[in-house]
Amino acid sequence: MLHQAIADTLGLNITDHKCLDLVARYGPLTAGKLAELTGLTTGGITGVIDRLEKAGYARRVPDPKDRRTTIIEPVHDKEIEKKLANIFLPLSQKMENMASEYSDEELKLLVEFISKTVQGSHEITTGLREKIKEKNSRT
């Protein structure tokens, strides 16, 4: 629900918001890499990129290493950065306040647990995607 509320605040749908998050987190990405990370089709990613460009959050630029490839990068704009700060600073402050209630040892345990949860989720996601590919290749 948090990500939907953030997407609504940014004037995006949730898929576009999460794709923008990946581009912001990992830096400039090809459309193919973004499709791979999300599990969306390349056609679906084209629509996402079109909407992110139209909204002013991302842009396509030629890949300096391969002119046939396009890179998707976030737009760095003071108005956009202010909008994002208004969303994420209160969230960050809330998380810092919560973290301050725990000892270093407890925080270490929490980080370990969350890291293992993320890794486990990644493994399950990869397995599900492989099953989908197998099923689609048989049809």
Question: For residue 65, what pLDDT band results from cuts at 50, 70 and 90?
Answer: confident
The answer to whether residue 106 is domain-embedded is no
Q: Using CB atoms within 10 A of its CB, is residue 126 exposed (0-12), middle (13-18) or buried (19+)? A: exposed
Q: How many domains does the chain have?
A: 1
What CATH number is attached to the domain comprising 47? 1.10.10.10
pTM of the model: 0.80
pLDDT in tens, 84-112: 899 999 999 999 999 999 999 999 999 99
Q: How many CB atoms lie within 10 A of CB 70?
A: 16
Report the alpha-carbon distance of residue 125 to residue 52 in Å, rounded.
Answer: 25
Domain of residue 18 covers: 2-76
pLDDT in tens, 15-59: 999 999 999 999 999 999 999 999 899 899 999 999 999 999 999
- Provide φ and ψ at 64, rounded to 5°: -65, -20
Residue 5: CA atoms inside 13 Å, Cβ hemisphere, count? 5
Q: Using CB atoms within 10 A of its CB, is residue 52 exposed (0-12), middle (13-18) or buried (19+)? A: buried
Identify the three-state secondary structure at position 65: coil
Report the alpha-carbon distance of residue 117 to residue 139 in Å, rounded.
Answer: 33
DSSP H or E stretch at residue 96: helix 78-99
The answer to whether residue 92 is domain-embedded is no
The answer to whether residue 9 is domain-embedded is yes
The answer to whether residue 120 is domain-embedded is no
